[in-house]
C-alpha cells in the first residue's frame, strides 16, 4: 500500500507539494482580549489534513514521516514544523524543528519538540513559548496538556511585556513559578512556589496562589488592595472582596482598615436587569477616637445610580448621594464636591427630538452656607421638537422648558425667592439661502411665551408675583466668505452682519433669576440671538452684531484663525447690566486669535476690551508646546469683576503643566496654578512617571488650598501591571 493509502486508512488525508511550491502562510490576527484554549471536541470523523514537502512511510513499523515545510490541520487546530512523525500504532504525532501550534482562539505555542495525540487533546512540549492573543507571553521548560483541559507548565514565567526588556532580554516584570497549572474549564491559573520579579529582582513571593485567567471578567474573590491616608483617619488599607451573587448581580465589600478611626465600611451592590442596570453603594463608620471625631461617632453616606429603558424611545433613572454630614465625604477622601446633586429623571430621544423631566435636590457641603437656600426642583422639564417637513423652505422647531422650585429661605446674594415656577416655550424658524455670488443669508424668527409665579423675591413677607410675557423676535444673518489662494496657503475672510428686533424685556423685579446669573460675553456668543445662559432672562430690543473672521490654512497643517466683532444696541431697553460688556449703546470689542505654527506649537489669545481700547476687561492667553521630550502648556487669565453676574472680585491667575521625558519610559511632570492678585499658589504638583507597554507607575506630590484657606499636602503613588491589576493610594496631610 502506498503512503497516501496508509494515511487515508488511518483517517488522515494527505496533500503533497514540491519543495519549491509556495507554502501557505498562517495568518496571525491577535485580538486585544485573551481567549482561553477552545478544547471542545472536534466533530467525529474529522480528518487531519497534512501538507508537506516530502513524505515517507515504513510499512513494517507503520510510521509516516513528513519533512520540509509541514502543516497539519485538524479542525480549527494547526501545527507547523520542519519534521513530523506519525506513529499509527500509538496514534501519536511527534514534531520538531520550528514548531508552531495554533489553537482555535488564535493563541500560538512555539516549542523545540512536541508530542501530541492524533486528536490534539493531549501532549507535551519542551522549551515552550506561548503567545496569547492579549499580548501575554508564557515561557516554560516543559509543558504538558491533559485531556481534561488542564495544561501544566514546569519552570514557567508569565509576562505581558513586549517591548520593555533589559539588555540581557529579561522583561521588566514577570511572575516566575516552579509549577503553573492552567485549567481551561475553570478558567483559572494556579501558581506553586511563585515570585514576582521587577527588573530581574524578586520583590514578592508566595508558596501558592491562584487567579482567574484573562477570559474571566467576574468571579468571587479578593481584588488587589489599595491604600490611602488622611488627617481624619490616618493610614488606611483597602481590601476589596468581590462576590458574584449571580451572572447579573454582584457585591463588592471594600473595608478600609485605618489607624485612627477603626474600619470604614464600603459596600456596593450592582444588579443588571433586562431593561437596565442600577447600583447602590453605602459607606459607614463608627469613629473610635473621640479626639478625632468631627461629627461622630456614627457617620456615613449612601449613593445610588440607575438607568432603565422603557422602550426604544423612553428611559428613566436616578442618580443621588446623601451624606450624614458635610465633612464626611471629604474627610475620608471619597469626594470633594461642594454640592451633592440628587435627581430622578425620564428621557425620550427619537431622531432629532428630545425630552427630559427631572426632580432635583441639592445638598450643600460648604461650611457656613445654609442648607435652607438650597432649592428642591420639582419638576424641571426640557423638550425639543424639530418638524420633519420644511416650512417655507426652512426648519421649524419647538423648544419648551419648565421648572418649579422651593427653598426655605431666599438667598440674599442674588434676587431669588422662596418659591418660583417658570414655563417657557419657543417656536423658531430659520432658513439658509446662498446666492450665486456666495452670499449666505439666514433669516430667522422666534415666538416666545413665558409664565412666571414667584414668592418673596424682594424679601421675606413680600407678596406673590405672577407675570406672563410674549416676545416675538426676528432677524437675519449675512455672511460673505471670500477665498484667496496663496500657493503654500489658503485664506478665507468672512464679514458677518446680523440684526435682531424684539420688544424690550419687561421689568422683572419681583421675578427671581435662577438660571441666568452668570454671563461671559466673548467671540463665541457674539452672534447668538440671546446671550443669556438660561431662560429666566432674555435679550430684548433692537440690536445689530458685526464682525470679521479670517482663517489661513497652511500646507504643513499649520493655521491661523482670527475674529473680531462688536454688538450695537439700537432701540428698546437694554437687558444687560454693568460688568457684562453689553450694557451700553455699543458693546465691548471681542476678539480671538489662534495660531498653530506646526504640530509642535499652538498659541491662543482672546479678549474683551473697551470700544476705545482704553481698558481690557477680560483677556486669556495660552501656549502649548510639544517637542521630542518636552511638552506642556501655559495659560493666563485676567477677568474684571462683575458683581451683577456672580463675580464679586477681579481674578488674575496663571497656570500650566509640563512633562519632560528622560527616556522613552521615564518622565518628570509638574503643574501649578498661581493667583497673581493674592500673590499665592493655589495648586502645585510635581511627580515622576514610568510608562511602557506592560507597566505604568507614578509618584506625585501636590499642595493645594482648600475652601477654608488651609493648605493640604498629598502624596500619591500607583503601580499598574498590565493584565494583573493596579495597586496605589494617596496620603493627605
Q: Which tens digit of pLDDT belongs to each residue from 457-499?
A: 876 666 788 999 999 999 999 999 999 988 888 999 999 999 9
660 part of a folded domain: yes
Q: 413 or 623: whose pLDDT is higher?
A: 623
**Confidence category of residue 132, pLDDT binned at 50, 70, 90:** confident
Distance between start and end Cα atoms, the chain: 86
- Contacts of residue 678, Cβ cutoff 8 Å, sequence gap at least 6: none
- Using alpha carbons only, how large is the chain's radius of gyration in Å? 35
**Confidence category of residue 290, pLDDT binned at 50, 70, 90:** low
- Contacts of residue 205, Cβ cutoff 8 Å, sequence gap at least 6: 194, 195, 196
Q: Which pLDDT score, from 0 to 100, does residue 724 have?
A: 82
Q: Which pLDDT score, from 0 to 100, does residue 459 have?
A: 67
Q: Other C-beta atoms within 10 Å of 580: how many?
A: 22
Q: Which pLDDT score, from 0 to 100, does residue 722 have?
A: 87
Q: 122 or 265: whose pLDDT is higher?
A: 265
Asked whether the predicted pLDDT for residue 14 surpasses 50, the reply is no
CATH, residue 197: 2.60.450.10
Asked whether the predicted pLDDT for residue 292 surpasses 70, the reply is no
Q: Which pLDDT score, from 0 to 100, does residue 199 have?
A: 85
Asked whether the predicted pLDDT for residue 512 surpasses 60, the reply is yes
Asked whether the predicted pLDDT for residue 35 surpasses 60, the reply is no
Q: 400 or 457: whose pLDDT is higher?
A: 400
Q: Which pLDDT score, from 0 to 100, does residue 11 have?
A: 33
Asked whether the predicted pLDDT for residue 19 surpasses 80, the reply is no
313 backbone dihedrals φ, ψ, rounded to 5°: -110, -40
**Domain stop point among 212, 247, 278:** 212
Q: CB–CB of 181/152 below 8 Å?
A: yes
DSSP character string of 231-260: TTTEEEEE--EEEEEETTEEEEE--EEESS
> Strand 226-230 relative to strand 221-222: parallel, antiparallel, unpaired?
unpaired
Closest CA relative to residue 149, chosen from 215, 204, 193: 215
Q: What is the mean pLDDT of residues 238-255?
A: 93
How much is the mean pLDDT over the chain? 87
Query: Using one digit for the tens of pLDDT, what is the confidence trace for 178-195?
Result: 999 888 778 888 999 999
Query: Using one digit for the tens of pLDDT, what is the confidence trace for 439-454?
Result: 999 999 999 999 999 9
CB neighbour burial string for 415-452, b if at least 16 within 10 angstroms, e if fewer? bbbbbbbbbbebbbbbbeeeeeeeeeebbbbbebebeb
Q: 706 or 691: whose pLDDT is higher?
A: 691
175 part of a folded domain: yes
Q: What is this structure's pTM?
A: 0.79
4 backbone dihedrals φ, ψ, rounded to 5°: -65, -40
Whole-angstrom Cα distance, residue 153 to residue 323? 51
In this structure, what C-alpha cell is assigned to residue 304?
A: 445610588
Find cell 516584570 and name the residue: 173
Cis (ω within 30 of 0) for the bond into 230? no
Q: What is the mean pLDDT of residues 503-510?
A: 88
Whole-angstrom Cα distance, residue 177 to residue 158? 9
288 part of a folded domain: no
613 part of a folded domain: no
Whole-angstrom Cα distance, residue 342 to residue 720? 34
**Long-range contact pairs involving 593-600 (C-beta distance under 8 Å, separation at least 24):** 593/560, 593/561, 593/562, 593/563, 594/559, 594/560, 594/561, 594/562, 595/558, 595/559, 595/560, 596/557, 596/558, 596/559, 596/560, 597/558, 598/556, 598/557, 598/558, 599/557, 599/626, 600/625, 600/626, 600/627
Cα angle 615-618-620, degrees, rounded to a multiple of 5: 125
DSSP character string of 486-544: -SSEEEEEEEEEEEEE-PPPP--TTS--SS------STTSTT-S---SSSSS---SEEE
What counts of helices (H) and strands (E) characterise the chain? 2, 45
Overall number of domains in the chain: 2
**Domain stop point among 178, 212, 246:** 212
**Of how many residues is the chain composed?**
733
Q: What is the mean pLDDT of residues 5-21?
A: 31
Q: What is the mean pLDDT of residues 638-644?
A: 91
Asked whether the predicted pLDDT for residue 146 surpasses 90, the reply is no
DSSP character string of 431-483: --EE-TT--EEEEEEEEEEEEEEEESTTSTTPPPEEEEEEEEEEEEEEE--EE
Whole-angstrom Cα distance, residue 215 to residue 159? 16
**Domain stop point among 182, 197, 212:** 212
190 part of a folded domain: yes
Ranges of beta strands (E only) in 662-710 are 666-675, 680-691, 695-705
- Contacts of residue 40, Cβ cutoff 8 Å, sequence gap at least 6: none
191 part of a folded domain: yes
Q: Which pLDDT score, from 0 to 100, does residue 568 have?
A: 97
Q: What is the mean pLDDT of residues 700-706?
A: 89
Query: Using one digit for the tens of pLDDT, what is the confidence trace for 551-610?
Result: 999 888 889 999 999 999 999 999 999 999 999 999 999 999 999 988 889 999 999 999
- Domain extent at residue 668: 650-733
**Confidence category of residue 421, pLDDT binned at 50, 70, 90:** very high
Q: Which pLDDT score, from 0 to 100, does residue 169 have?
A: 83
Asked whether the predicted pLDDT for residue 3 surpasses 70, the reply is no
Asked whether the predicted pLDDT for residue 36 surpasses 60, the reply is no
Q: Which pLDDT score, from 0 to 100, does residue 446 have?
A: 96
Whole-angstrom Cα distance, residue 485 to residue 135? 49
CB neighbour burial string for 90-115, b if at least 16 within 10 angstroms, e if fewer? eebbbbbeebbbbbebbbbbbbeebb
Whole-angstrom Cα distance, residue 15 to residue 343? 69
Ranges of beta strands (E only) in 600-650 are 601-609, 616-626, 630-639
**Confidence category of residue 216, pLDDT binned at 50, 70, 90:** confident
Q: What is the mean pLDDT of residues 333-349?
A: 93
Ranges of beta strands (E only) in 486-574 are 489-501, 542-554, 559-571
User: Any idea what DSSP says for residue 397?
Assistant: E
724 part of a folded domain: yes
Q: 571 or 101: whose pLDDT is higher?
A: 571
Q: What is the mean pLDDT of residues 295-313?
A: 91
The DSSP bridge partners found for residue 595 are: 560, 603
Asked whether the predicted pLDDT for residue 57 surpasses 80, the reply is yes
Helix (H) or strand (E) holding 93: strand 92-102
236 part of a folded domain: no
Of 23-37, 183-197, 458-472, 665-679, least confident by mean pLDDT is 23-37
Asked whether the predicted pLDDT for residue 17 surpasses 70, the reply is no
Q: How many CA atoms lie within 13 A of 354 on its CB side?
A: 7
In this structure, what C-alpha cell is assigned to residue 712?
A: 493640604
Whole-angstrom Cα distance, residue 356 to residue 377? 14
Find cell 518636552 and name the residue: 630
The DSSP bridge partners found for residue 273 are: 276
The DSSP bridge partners found for residue 488 are: none
Q: Which pLDDT score, from 0 to 100, does residue 609 have?
A: 95
Asked whether the predicted pLDDT for residue 386 surpasses 60, the reply is yes
Q: Which pLDDT score, from 0 to 100, does residue 31 have?
A: 34
Closest CA relative to residue 656, chosen from 631, 629, 690, 689: 631
In this structure, what C-alpha cell is assigned to residue 14?
A: 494527505
Q: What is the mean pLDDT of residues 206-230?
A: 83
Whole-angstrom Cα distance, residue 408 to residue 413? 15
Q: CB–CB of 498/440 below 8 Å?
A: no
- Contacts of residue 527, Cβ cutoff 8 Å, sequence gap at least 6: 477, 496, 498, 545, 547, 565
Amino acid at each position: 500500500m502506498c503512503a497516501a493509502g496508509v494515511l487515508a486508512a488511518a483517517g488522515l488525508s494527505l496533500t503533497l507539494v514540491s519543495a519549491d511550491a509556495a507554502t501557505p502562510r498562517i495568518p496571525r490576527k491577535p485580538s486585544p482580549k485573551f481567549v482561553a484554549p477552545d478544547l471542545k471536541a472536534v466533530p467525529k470523523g474529522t480528518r487531519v489534513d497534512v501538507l508537506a514537502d516530502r513524505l515517507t512511510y515504513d510499512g513494517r513499523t507503520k510510521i509516516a514521516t513528513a519533512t520540509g515545510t509541514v502543516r497539519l490541520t485538524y479542525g480549527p487546530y494547526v501545527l507547523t514544523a520542519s519534521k513530523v512523525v506519525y506513529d499509527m500504532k500509538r496514534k501519536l504525532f511527534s514534531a520538531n524543528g520550528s514548531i508552531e501550534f495554533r489553537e482555535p482562539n488564535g493563541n500560538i505555542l512555539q516549542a523545540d519538540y512536541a508530542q501530541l495525540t492524533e486528536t490534539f487533546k493531549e501532549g507535551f512540549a519542551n522549551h515552550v513559548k506561548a503567545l496569547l492573543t492579549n499580548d501575554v507571553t508564557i515561557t516554560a521548560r516543559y509543558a504538558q496538556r491533559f485531556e481534561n483541559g488542564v495544561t501544566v507548565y514546569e519552570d514557567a514565567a508569565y509576562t505581558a511585556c513586549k517591548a520593555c526588556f533589559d539588555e540581557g532580554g529579561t522583561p521588566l516584570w514577570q511572575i516566575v513559578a516552579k509549577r503553573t497549572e492552567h485549567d481551561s474549564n475553570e478558567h483559572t491559573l494556579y501558581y506553586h512556589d511563585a515570585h514576582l520579579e521587577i527588573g530581574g529582582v524578586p520583590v514578592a513571593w508566595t508558596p501558592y496562589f491562584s487567579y482567574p485567567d484573562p477570559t474571566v471578567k467576574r468571579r468571587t474573590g479578593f481584588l488587589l488592595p489599595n491604600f490611602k491616608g488622611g488627617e481624619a483617619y490616618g493610614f488606611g488599607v483597602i481590601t476589596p472582596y468581590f462576590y458574584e451573587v449571580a451572572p447579573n448581580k454582584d457585591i463588592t465589600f471594600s473595608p478600609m482598615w485605618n489607624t485612627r478611626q477603626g474600619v470604614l465600611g464600603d459596600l456596593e451592590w450592582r444588579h443588571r436587569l433586562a431593561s437596565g442596570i442600577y447600583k447602590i453603594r453605602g459607606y459607614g463608620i463608627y469613629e473610635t477616637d473621640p479626639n478625632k471625631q468631627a461629627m461622630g461617632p456614627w457617620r456615613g453616606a449612601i449613593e445610588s445610580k440607575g438607568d432603565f429603558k422603557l422602550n426604544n424611545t423612553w428611559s428613566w433613572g436616578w442618580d443621588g448621594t446623601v451624606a450624614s454630614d458635610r465633612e464626611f465625604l471629604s474627610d475620608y477622601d471619597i469626594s470633594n464636591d461642594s454640592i451633592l446633586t440628587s435627581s430622578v429623571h425620564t428621557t425620550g430621544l427619537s431622531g432629532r427630538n428630545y425630552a427630559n423631566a427631572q426632580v432635583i435636590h441639592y445638598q450643600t457641603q460648604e461650611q457656613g452656607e445654609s442648607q435652607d437656600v438650597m432649592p428642591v426642583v420639582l419638576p424641571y422639564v426640557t423638550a425639543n421638537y424639530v418638524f420633519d417637513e420644511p416650512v417655507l423652505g426652512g426648519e421649524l422647531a419647538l423648544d419648551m422648558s419648565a421648572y418649579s422650585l422651593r427653598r426655605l429661605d431666599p438667598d440674599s446674594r442674588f434676587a431669588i425667592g422662596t418659591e418660583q415656577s417658570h414655563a417657557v416655550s419657543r417656536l423658531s424658524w430659520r432658513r439658509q439661502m446662498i446666492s450665486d455670488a456666495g452670499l449666505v443669508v439666514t433669516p430667522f424668527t422666534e415666538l416666545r411665551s413665558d409664565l412666571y409665579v414667584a414668592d418673596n423675591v424682594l424679601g421675606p413677607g413680600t407678596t406673590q408675583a405672577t407675570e406672563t410675557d410674549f416676545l416675538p423676535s426676528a432677524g437675519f444673518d449675512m455672511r460673505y466668505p471670500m477665498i484667496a489662494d496663496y500657493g503654500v496657503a489658503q485664506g478665507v475672510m468672512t464679514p458677518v452682519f446680523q440684526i435682531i428686533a424684539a420688544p424690550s424685556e419687561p421689568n422683572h423685579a419681583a421675578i427671581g433669576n435662577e438660571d441666568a446669573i452668570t454671563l461671559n460675553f466673548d467671540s463665541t456668543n457674539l452672534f447668538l440671538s440671546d446671550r443669556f445662559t438660561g431662560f429666566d432672562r432674555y435679550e430684548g430690543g433692537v440690536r445689530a452684531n458685526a464682525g470679521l473672521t479670517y482663517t489661513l490654512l497652511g500646507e504643513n497643517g499649520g493655521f491661523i484663525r482670527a475674529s473680531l466683532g462688536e454688538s450695537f444696541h439700537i432701540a428698546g431697553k437694554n437687558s444687560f447690566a454693568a460688568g457684562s460688556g453689553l450694557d451700553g449703546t455699543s458693546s465691548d470689542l471681542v476678539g480671538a486669535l489662534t495660531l498653530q505654527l506646526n504640530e509642535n506649537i499652538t498659541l491662543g489669545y482672546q479678549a474683551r476690551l473697551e470700544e476705545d481700547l482704553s481698558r481690557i476687561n477680560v483677556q486669556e492667553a495660552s501656549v502649548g508646546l510639544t517637542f521630542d521630550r518636552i511638552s506642556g502648556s501655559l495659560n493666563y487669565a485676567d477677568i474684571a469683576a462683575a458683581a451683577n453676574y456672580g463675580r464679586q472680585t477681579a481674578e488674575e491667575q496663571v497656570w500650566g503643566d509640563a512633562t519632560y521625558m528622560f527616556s522613552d519610559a521615564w518622565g518628570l511632570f509638574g503643574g501649578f496654578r498661581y493667583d497673581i492678585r493674592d500673590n499665592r499658589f493655589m495648586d502645585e504638583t510635581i511627580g515622576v512617571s514610568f510608562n511602557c507597554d506592560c507597566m505604568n507607575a507614578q509618584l506625585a506630590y501636590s499642595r493645594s488650598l482648600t475652601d477654608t484657606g488651609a493648605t493640604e499636602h498629598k502624596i500619591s503613588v500607583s503601580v499598574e501591571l498590565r493584565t494583573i491589576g493596579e495597586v496605589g493610594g494617596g496620603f493627605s496631610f
